[in-house]
Each structure stands twice: as structure tokens, then as C-alpha cells.
Structure 1
């Protein structure tokens, strides 16, 4: 299983992907603290709810009454709209039981620094996981109406969300630093029998409804980083005038050594 670098995804998109395409012993590593991620996820969901309401033509006219319903429900539709829009699911709708069964057995870890990430990966194993247990052998996580063979083909991933973002603006933002962490990630996934996957968050500048994942991926992979990390420069190595201190390399060349670039399931 080749390690993958997938196209950027919003937090809600990532969660949807994990629930519908992954199963035990998948481990999701979120490169931020819990409060920060939940805040970003909440903002993301609210933005998509507003977009959903605008898409379905909500209005305050009491005769048409197309305002949003309760949380978890789609906005009420005027009679002039096509019937299929009335069944659009709400972003916060209660999940089906099979989805709850899946999420109970997926481990989620919040890691705030590069040092913590490397330390976690260096001792990572699915056998010693005391927090999330394996599902019973008779339990099927297949969606209603789907075959059991489909459930067996769910991915087993060691997925890191925000890998590059964790390194950026630190002394580890370099070929040396990023390659070192990537090597540890790939090795940890291989030992655990999982597929290593990296997903980045898209840039926050464009509105969610106009997000172009391909553009964001191109921007991320075209970023440049120095060859040596800041920590190496402080060790006393006299590299002035050798060209190494000013030399930069694109992210795509660095990660291309370890990962295969691929579109995510969420990209149409």
C-alpha cells in the first residue's frame, strides 16, 4: 500500500470521509489541539449550513416559509421548488446507527507540535491501544442496503491531518525536518499494517462555497522550503557561502519521495 498525499479537505469533509470510508484500526491524527480543531469544525459546518440555505432559496415570507428548520433538518422548501431538494440532509442530522458503530472504533489523537508527533509515531502500535477496542467479529459496519463485502473493503489508515501546517512557521519547516517526520510516519504505518495518508486543510481565504481543491493542492505543493532546519543552522555548522543556507526545494519534490499524490474521494 503506497503512502498517499490526498487533496486538501475541510474538517467536515474529512470527518465525513473517515466515517464512510474507514474502519478499525484506522487512526486519525489531527495536528492541532482539540479546542482549535473543534472551533474550526464548528465554523466550517455553520458556513456550509448557510450555503445550503442560500442554495435552497430560503426566505422570510410567511406565505412560503422557507426558513431553516430545527438543527439537523434541511431548510423547508417552497412548493415551487423541485421535490428532490426537500430531502436534502442537514449537516448536523443524527447519524445512522452503522456510522456510530464505525466511529466508536476509530482512534482520534490531537497533537500540537512536531516533536509530539514524532514521539507518538515512534512508539505507535494498534495492539497497545487501550482507548479504542476492536469491534466484535460479528459486527458489520456496512451501511443499510449495502453488501457486507463493501464493509470489508473499508480503508485501514494512519491519517495525519495538517502535517505540513504543523511544520510551517517552525524551525522544522525544511527538507530535513519534513523528510524526517515523513519517514517516521511511513515506517509507523508500515509496521502497523496501515496505509499512511496526509491530508491538509485548504487555505482559509476563499469562501467555502468556492473552494477549488485542485488550486489549493497546487499552491501547497509548490511552496518552497530550505534544505536545512533552523536547529541544524544553530549547531555551529559553517555553511555560509556554500549555497545550502539559501537553497530551497518545492514541497512536491520533498514529499514525492515518500508519497503518491492523489485526489481525495471528496473531489468531484
Structure 2
């Protein structure tokens, strides 16, 4: 009775329903563990450390990096640089080179680079296409990790609720079709780019510059994003579209339609894993 009294819900449903209550709670936790999730807060080095230290010996991980390979290496180097003085260049290389080697050469980790929104959507479509199977040797579910989708969209006309929703919906559909454990990570400390769209209305450009005046975000998911994409904001003819032209929404609310937020408790300095 003490254990029931300690839980208000068990106290309300009574001891006869305790078994059912426990079953529902277990199913709820199980459902959450299978749901797509946003892992946060992680810098790029912390993400790579997390991937390599949690990698299964049987199930595979596919890392979809939303940039080119060169840009990825540059981002990793710059994200490590603030934590080191000029005299620690050798220490930086000792961390960077083995990490990249392990990432690119480990048997169960595959890295794909998508340097544009179009390339990302095409990759997700092909990855979850008919006839594709992504099951580990032991039957474990594969892990699919999408890295920095916000940064990929930021300098494009698709940096809007419309554009991001399209990408996150495609990712969620791919995860569902392949039965993969799907994660999204937007790394902290990555420089944010102010959108620079050609032939765009001056008023729209001013709004975007004001919204992205801070080049770095403590939490990238707190960014304000336009409801409509650039083409809709420029050429929308209906009164309803014009009414939404200046409206914004936080990125976390957009991704929250498909993904749960999962805070990574142990995301310490990858230089000191012990």
C-alpha cells in the first residue's frame, strides 16, 4: 500500500488497477524510446564522442551530415579551437585525426554528406525507398542521425516553417519505413548564417537580418523562423498569405510535430571521457 500511496495516479486508480497502470506506463516508455528524437545539447565534438561511445557492435549507424565533407571537417576544427590555446595545436590534432579516422573507417558507422536541401531530400527518399533494408546482423534497429538540418536550411529560401516541415516530415517517414532509431542533432556553437536571398524584397531582408543578428545561438532550436518560405512571402496573392508574411515560430515547435526532445545527460568534454 505504501508504494501505491507514493504514486498519486496509483492512489486514484486503486490497487486492483496497479498492474494495468504499470503496463500502460511501460508501454508509454517503450513508445517514447521508439519515437524519433532531438538529441541536445551537443556540440559537434560531443556528438561524435557520443556516437562512437554508444555504438553497437552489431547494429549500424548512418550519420547524415548536412554539409560537404570539407565543411564538416572545418566545423569540427573550429568547434574545438575555442577550447584550446595556440600552444595546444598538437592536442587538437591528437583528438581530431583519430576521431575522424574512427568515424570514417569503423565497420558499423556510415557517413553521408548532403550539401544542399535538395540533396538531403533526395538521399532520404532513396534511403527509405522500396526494396531497401537496414537491419543489423543481430536484428537490432539501425540508428539514423541527421546532423545540422537548421544550418543547412539557414542560407536558403527554405529556412521557414514550410521548408523545415517538409524536411522533418521526410526524415520521420524515412525512419518509419526503415524501422530505424531516428535522431536529429543541431550542434551548439555552430555559426549561424544570415539568409541572403537574391532579388528579395528589402523589407523581408531586414526582417531576416534582425532575426538572425546573433551569429551564434546558445540553443539553435530557440531560433525564430518565418512561417512562409521566401517565394510565398514575395508572391503570395491571397490576403491570408499576406497576413502570415511577417509571422515567425520557434524552430523547436516545428520539429516538435515529429520529434521528441531528449536531453543527453552525459555530454562532457570529449577530451576527457573518463
CA RMSD of aligned residues (A): 3.7
Residues 51, 199 of structure 1: CA spacing in aligned structure 2 closer, same or farther, 3 A cutoff?
farther
1:6·1:264 contact (CA, 8 Å) conserved in 2? yes
1:118·1:184 contact (CA, 8 Å) conserved in 2? yes
Structure 1 residue matching 2:155: 3-state secondary structure = coil
The residue that corresponds to 2:210 in the other structure is none
The residue that corresponds to 1:107 in the other structure is 110
2:236·2:242 contact (CA, 8 Å) conserved in 1? no
Give the Cα separation in 1 of the matches to 2:166 and 2:86: 40
Shift of 1:178: 0.6
The residue that corresponds to 1:260 in the other structure is 260
TM-score (norm 2): 0.62
What are the Cα deviations for residues 71-120 of structure 1, in whole angstroms up to 9, with x where unaligned?
64xxxxxxxxxxxxxxxxxx36868xxx7898222110011111111111
Give the Cα separation in 1 of the matches to 2:53 and 2:114: 24
Question: In the alignment, does 2:62 pair up with 1:27?
Answer: yes
What are the Cα deviations for residues 7-35 of structure 1, in whole angstroms up to 9, with x where unaligned?
14233222221112134332101111001
Structure 2 residue matching 1:123: 3-state secondary structure = helix
Residues 70, 52 of structure 1: CA spacing in aligned structure 2 closer, same or farther, 3 A cutoff?
closer
What are the Cα deviations for residues 159-196 of structure 1, in whole angstroms up to 9, with x where unaligned?
11111111113111111111111000001011111122
Question: In the alignment, does 2:187 pair up with 1:201?
Answer: yes
Runs (5+) with no aligned partner, structure 1: 54-67, 73-90, 138-151, 206-214
The residue that corresponds to 2:250 in the other structure is 250
The residue that corresponds to 2:198 in the other structure is none
Structure 2 residue matching 1:243: 3-state secondary structure = helix
Name the structure with the higher helix share.
2
Question: In the alignment, does 2:70 pair up with 1:38?
Answer: no
The residue that corresponds to 1:182 in the other structure is 168
Structure 2 residue matching 1:35: 3-state secondary structure = helix
Residues 243, 116 of structure 1: CA spacing in aligned structure 2 closer, same or farther, 3 A cutoff?
same
Question: In the alignment, does 2:16 pair up with 1:13?
Answer: no
Give the Cα separation in 2 of the matches to 1:107 and 1:28: 6
Runs (5+) with no aligned partner, structure 2: 1-33, 192-216, 269-274
